[in-house]
Structure formats: C-alpha cells, structure tokens
Amino acid sequence: MTDSNKGDNPTLFATEFAKEYKELGYNLDFTIDSLETEIDKILERNYKTNDEIRWKLESLLTAYIGECICKIFRGVWTGKFYGPKNPNGVNYYLCEITINNQRFYPSRFVEYYFSNGKESEGTFKNYLFKKKLNEWNVKL
C-alpha cells in the first residue's frame, strides 16, 4: 500500500522517463532545448491516447519538466510529487517547485493540454518563454 502522506522521487522518475524516451528517439537531456522542442512533440503525439496512458504520461512529464526547471533555473522541489503508480496524490495541486520565491506547478500545463488541446493551450515553449521566465525573473 502506498503512503498517501509520502510523495515519490521526481528525480528518479524524470531520469527513467528520459532514458525510456531517448530510446524512442526523443532528445530528453535535461536542457532548455528539450523543454522547447521535445515536450511539445511528446504532447502532440500522445494527445489522443487513452486515459490510462495520458494519466501515466502526465505524471512522468511533470517529473521531467520539474527536474529540468530545477537544474536549469536552480529551482527546488517544494511540494509533493506522485508517480504514475501512486493513486493517492494529485500533482496538479500538490506538486510545486520554487524559483526565486515564485511557485511553479509543472503538472498544470500538461494537464490543461491533455484536457483542452494545443489550440487552447499553445505550445510548452511559448508557455515557458512568454509566461514563466519573466515571472521567475531569470535569464538564459
């Protein structure tokens, strides 16, 4: 049984996800380029998959995006992360990263995208560059 008060390790999930998706041809190397290009490719390819695959992918993308943000922008995991096999957590509300005293919820864009589509949410690249970098007061 999974302890609902204990989150999972997002770094471990992100690393495993990156390894698995590199074997599928995606360049998930924890760089800004991977956030700019590969996240959108994964989302577009999996937008119309079944709910079980999307739910798992939401969790894994949350881990990968969050870990990239931590590495690139010196963010810190300050919320709980729940992996795809942990039925007790909701990443949308609980998974957060803090960057320069600003909160970032890595699951939200992915969940909105899967619910509403690219037409509504746009690309992750635009989301990151137009909405988040200024908010965090960081430069590349």
| pLDDT in the model for residue 140 | 66
Per DSSP, 21 falls in state H
Domain ranges of the chain: 10-136
3-state per-residue secondary structure call for 56-74: HHHHHHHHHHHHHHHHHHC
Q: How confident is the model at residue 124 (pLDDT cuts 50, 70, 90)?
A: very high
- Residue 77 pLDDT > 60, yes or no? yes
- Residue 6 pLDDT > 70, yes or no? no
Q: Note the pLDDT tens digit of each residue in 25-55.
A: 999 999 999 999 999 999 999 988 888 888 8
Burial (CB count within 10 angstroms: exposed 0-12, middle 13-18, buried 19+), residue 100 = exposed
- Whether the pTM exceeds 0.75: the reply is yes
Q: How confident is the model at residue 1 (pLDDT cuts 50, 70, 90)?
A: very low
